[in-house]
Chain A
Amino acid sequence: MAKYTLKRVLMALLTLFVVACITFFLMHAIPGNPWLSEKTPSEAVINALNEKYGLNEPLIVQLGKYLGNLLRGDLGNSIKMQKNRPVLDIILEMFPVSAQVGVVAILWAVLVGVPLGCLAAYRRGTWVDSLLRVICTIGISMPGFVVATMLLHLLCGTGKPFPALFVSGSLASYVLPCAALGFYPMCYLSRQTRTAMLDAINQEYIKTARAKGLKNKKIIFKHALRNALIPVITYLGPQIAFTLCGGFVVETVFSIPGLGRYFIQSIQNRDYPLIMGTTLFLAAFIIVMNLLVDLAYKLVDPRINLTKGEN
């Protein structure tokens, strides 16, 4: 297990490094200067700015410096959105809002999606199964913004149950964004759980369990479920990433002052340090989440030999 964990952690660090390099080189592939887009400043100003942000040194030195800064948690300063404010500062201010919505969304997606998937598998072939299948297929076919705008239009505003403007801390403000954000992962997980359950039900050990004379419920909920949940865990990692990115849309639609909306705005405003910093931060978050899910998976599945590492 230790070796496996080490390997996974190293892989995650490597991925982070690659993402950092991608961001760095992409940024330097931009022709001209980040400060060209508005009024063209004078040569002297550009030089001064270059000097200030270290843009006139050789690329490799800049990369080294950049990575060194990253290690110290220095993501640079915003150049447009909030001039000269450290990017990390902005991120740390904005991220909790996004995280709150995201965590609730993922939680309800898992807590509802997985049981629904089990139910569908348990009642396969009945109307319950068909109904759930229809709902979930529709759910994974509706882009997040469709769900979000529909909820916004139908349920928000004066005379409707939810407020039109997002108020941080007000519970009612969180309901719809979380519902919208969690809907896709819920449907997805439900579908995957159903498939995994049916897969497990078709395994030989279920035949053994039936031959032993176990009751149907016990067969499904003891023998099939535990095995089905193992692959479902692997879907969780990508879903966390997906939810995070889905947050961009939901935050935009519901005007939530979270990191996602700010990120999109920074892209539109070409605030490059902010773009890079946010990308790196979110990427790191996703990579760490994937790592945790990966490790959890190995813990749940007894087939993995814990002493020797790899299977």
Chain B
Amino acid sequence: MENVQQHDKKLHDSAHAQDALGKNLLEVKDLQVSFFTPAGEVKAVGGISYNLKYGEVMGIVGESGSGKSVEAYSIIGLLQSPGKVIGGSITFEGEDVLAKSKEEMIAFRGSKVAMIFQNPMTCLNPVYTIGNQLIEALKAHDKEVSKEEAAKRAMEMLELVGINNVEKRMKQYPHELSGGMRQRVMIAMGLICHPQLLIADEPTTALDVTIQAQILELMKQIQKKTHMGIIFITHNLGVVAEICDKVSVMYAGKMVEQGPVDDIFYQPSHPYTEGLLRSMPRVDAESYERLIPIEGTPVDMLNPPEGCPFAPRCEKAMKICLQKMPPYVEVGEGHRSACWLRVQEQLNKKKEAGGHE
């Protein structure tokens, strides 16, 4: 389990990854993250939990400011200064990530968990060549690797992500590449140390639609080859359907629904998820069907209200929704939803069952 850092040329779809399939790679429990701003505490993430198995791809969906990036940053220890994890736990391969020291975190980042970001235009250092930045990523975690070996690995990685003419690319500066190319370089940089988990923070948002499809296809391929876990953060449900095994829907720092991707799409059980789906264009929809936006604006995270944060925008809001945060309700195999409607259903079912008895 410990030999994550393999230096053989084979990508690590080797025996151990297969063995591990079905076990948990990452366990996040009741994670709470707050930003301590001068105006007060902003609860960016208010207690979320999920598990990710080896080789699983999970999508985290939500609108801007719902805390999805913050949540991801806290896994990799990149939270910026006013932000702080104030509760919960993150366990990666059985190790407590939050308990790691600074040095351990530096060794952990990049080697076991890699991250790629939204805007490939600004994420590569403009004054160093692609090759320099790739080799640097490798050398950060493998001090012994020789220069030639590192360059060779970097070129292999570039080839893996579908970049041609790699020798020339190695010597080029980021501004000489297109956006799609740069995102490929970012992915190559993330993969160069063979991490077990890749966190992709809206990796396609800043790209053209055609390039988006290419990058998604690439990520899918790479996932098949490497069997690494991926957390895919996005606000685009279409992307989720494309690549993910399961989906978590976040709203105002809370996880409102979680489940296998098919369940989420065909049996959404939270009004917010329903709203998201209705506001997404679909190819198979009847021509007269209209896109329905979700009315209203998200709640102020500075003083989040009691109760369900989505209640003010929810057309089915009930009195209880305004008073108490709903509990999670199992609505199917591995499919949970935090909505009082589901609680009501279960109560009714129970009552009926009780009545029959």
Contact of A205 among B109, B114, B124 (CB under 8 A): B124
- Tell me whether B127 is interfacial, beta carbon within 8 Å: yes
Q: How many residues of A contact B (CB 8 A)?
A: 22
- Near B by CB (< 8 A), chain A positions 222-258 give 222-223, 226-227, 230
Q: Does B140 lie within 8 Å of A213, measured CB to CB?
A: yes
A223 contacts across to B, CB distance below 8 A = 125, 128
- Tell me whether A212 is interfacial, beta carbon within 8 Å: yes
A211-B110, A215-B106, A301-B127 given as contacts; is B140 within 8 A of A205 (CB)?
A: no
Q: How many angstroms between the C-alpha atoms of A135 and B30 in the bound complex? A: 47
- Tell me whether A32 is interfacial, beta carbon within 8 Å: no
A204-B117, A303-B126 given as contacts; is B175 within 8 A of A212 (CB)?
A: no
Q: How many angstroms between the C-alpha atoms of A227 and B173 in the bound complex? A: 14
Closest to B112 in A: A213
A213-B109, A302-B173, A303-B173 given as contacts; is B123 within 8 A of A207 (CB)?
A: yes
Q: Does A212 lie within 8 Å of B189, measured CB to CB?
A: yes
A213-B106, A213-B109 given as contacts; is B127 within 8 A of A208 (CB)?
A: no
Q: Which residue among A203, A211, A215 has the maximum number of chain B CB atoms within 10 Å of its CB?
A: A211
Contact of A227 among B78, B114, B115, B126 (CB under 8 A): B126
Q: How many angstroms between the C-alpha atoms of A293 and B106 in the bound complex? A: 38
CB distance from A213 to the nearest CB of B (A): 3
Q: Which residue among B111, B140, B186 has the maximum number of chain A CB atoms within 10 Å of its CB?
A: B140
Contact of B124 among A208, A218, A222, A230 (CB under 8 A): A208
Q: Does A213 lie within 8 Å of B111, measured CB to CB?
A: yes
Return the CB mask of B120-163 against A: 1 if under 8 Å, else 0. 00111111100000001100110000000000000000000000
- Tell me whether A210 is interfacial, beta carbon within 8 Å: yes
Q: Does B126 lie within 8 Å of A302, measured CB to CB?
A: yes
Contact of A213 among B124, B141, B175 (CB under 8 A): B141
Closest to A229 in B: B127
Give chain A's interface residues, CB within 8 Å of chain B: 203-205, 207-216, 218, 222-223, 226-227, 230, 301-303
**17 contacts across the A-B interface (CB closer than 8 A):** A203-B122, A208-B117, A208-B123, A208-B189, A211-B115, A211-B117, A211-B190, A213-B108, A214-B136, A214-B137, A223-B125, A223-B128, A226-B127, A301-B126, A303-B126, A303-B127, A303-B175
8 closest cross-chain pairs (CB), A and B: A213-B110, A213-B109, A204-B122, A205-B125, A211-B115, A212-B110, A212-B137, A302-B173
